[in-house]
Amino acid sequence: MSAATDTIAAIASAPGAAGVGVLRVSGPRVPAIAQALLGRAPRPRHAHFASFHDAQGEPIDHGLLLHFPAPASYTGEHVLELQGHGSPVLLDALLRRICELGARLARPGEFTERAFLNGKLDLAQAEAVADLIAARSQAGARAALRSMDGVFSRRVDALLQSLITLRVHIEAAIDFPEEEIDFLADPAIAQQLESLRTQLAELLREAQRGLRLNDGLRVAIVGRPNAGKSSLLNALAGSDRAIVTAIAGTTRDVLRESVALDGIALELADTAGLRDTDDEVEREGVRRAHGELARADAALLVTDADHAEADLALFDALPAGAARVVLVNKIDLAHAAPHAETRDGIHWLWASAKTGAGLAALRDHLKQLAGAGSGEGAFSARRRHVLALETVREHLARTAHALATIRAGELAAEELRQAQHALGEITGAYTSDDLLGAIFGSFCIGK
């Protein structure tokens, strides 16, 4: 990939007044720009205190100037960082001055895109930079930091190496048709493939956990009208009122809350009461609730002792891997004590949204589902990574079938080639401009 020839600049700190504001510049014109601003060549990686002037020599601001020469910088290019007073007016004037000196305004994510194109980080690491900035929980931030440091990428690369080794073996066999059959029947090949599939399954599980740490566990709260869904949502959100954020696009029928429970993110959706109905408006609500269930990581069924068994049918709309939790609510009316048990893969809790009895156990269970205690090595992942790993799993299954059942070396090699491609898309070994545009376009300016 060719080096960029132009120089980009942006305000890297958040908009609005602040104590300090940061400007970032990257590209070949940085040494000249730094020299012009400082009046002499800056020392590499040294904080110079300087006065910044406009083209007429009028002072704009004074602050710090740091030069990180290529290639030992964030982008791999010459990078200049200016720290001034955090006034939007001053920062704009300074940015204008830098553009006069030969830079242009950076697009969102363009610094990180250059870092990727210059091999400073791979695509999954670049995505983790954005996820770190956007993290809504401490566990999510820690996981994103690990992905940015390459924990996830190294796992992907290791798998990629094993995959390539196996593919080379099989392709070598194809080149010697008289030995191909024997070779493909070799148990060592089957063993290699099995081990690959085991590794992949483990990585997929961890990536799914990483996705939940990143995006938050998506919990659909369902149940018939008046079961206590809204009360429960308020009780869960209320315990962390300060970090509850309203989510844009809230519909009349699905109310969403983003909640962090002890540093673990949850996306709660309170759906309209689910029941079969002839009413046009209610039917729409039910349709949306079903849609909510179909994309949930977990369903929380709010019900009572009389209706619990009948209401279990609501779980039918859930995807296979989703967690199922039943909350038997209003135990205060029955003067019952809170307790919990797991039956047939469904976690049952008896509680009261009104008195709060049993809700601590519910919070603990949700935190567990969301990846709490997922360990020191947990990394963040995105939905596209999980989808890519699922694609790899499909191709490996077909590889196994080709080898075991029909002994078709060509077919197996082709499946492995496609698996390799899907895996390579995670770290950016194979990319399209569309993919890069979508990924970096969603970054903030100045990153």
- Please enumerate, by residue number, every residue annotated as part of a binding site: 24, 81, 120, 226-231, 245-251, 270-273, 447
Please give the Cα distance from 417 to 208 (Å, whole number). Answer: 24
Please, which of residues 217-236 interact with Zn ion by CB under 5 A? 229-230
Q: List binding-site positions for (6S)-5-formyl-5,6,7,8-tetrahydrofolate.
A: 24, 81, 120, 447
Tell me the closest approach of the beta carbon of residue 227 to Zn ion, in angstroms.
Answer: 8
Q: Does 330 bind ligand GDP (CB under 6 A)?
A: yes
Q: Does 229 bind ligand GDP (CB under 6 A)?
A: yes
Which residue's CB is nearer to Zn ion, number 229 or number 365?
A: 229
Tell me the closest approach of the beta carbon of residue 221 to Zn ion, in angstroms.
Answer: 9
Query: Three-state DSSP class for 5?
Result: coil
SS3 content of the chain, % helix, strand, coil (to 5): 50, 20, 30
- Assess contact for 259 and 246: CB atoms under 8 A: no
Please give the Cα distance from 20 to 54 (Å, whole number). Answer: 20
3-state secondary structure 388-443: HHHHHHHHHHHHHHHHHCCCCHHHHHHHHHHHHHHHHHHHCCCCCHHHHHHHHHCC
Q: Does 354 bind ligand GDP (CB under 6 A)?
A: yes
Q: Does 391 bind ligand GDP (CB under 6 A)?
A: no
For 364, the token pair is 């603990």
For 65, the token pair is 């100037």
Choosing from 171, 332, 390, 414, the residue that interacts with ligand GDP (CB under 6 A) is 332
**How many residues bind ligand GDP, per CB under 6 A?**
17
Contact region for ligand GDP (CB under 6 A) — 225-233, 334-342, 406-414, 425-433?
Answer: 225-233
Please give the Cα distance from 270 to 253 (Å, whole number). Answer: 8
Choosing from 7, 73, 118, 329, the residue that interacts with ligand GDP (CB under 6 A) is 329
Tell me the closest approach of the beta carbon of residue 367 to ligand GDP, in angstroms.
Answer: 21
Tell me the closest approach of the beta carbon of residue 310 to ligand GDP, in angstroms.
Answer: 16
Please name the amino acid found at residue 321: G
Which residue's CB is nearer to ligand GDP, number 70 or number 305?
A: 305
Contact region for ligand GDP (CB under 6 A) — 30-38, 105-113, 226-234, 374-382?
Answer: 226-234
Q: Which stretches of 40-186 are DSSP H helices?
A: 88-100, 110-117, 123-134, 138-148, 151-174, 177-185
In the complex, the residues that contact ligand GDP under the rule CB under 6 A are 223, 225-231, 273, 302, 329-330, 332-333, 352-354
Binding residues for Zn ion, rule: CB under 5 A, are 229-230
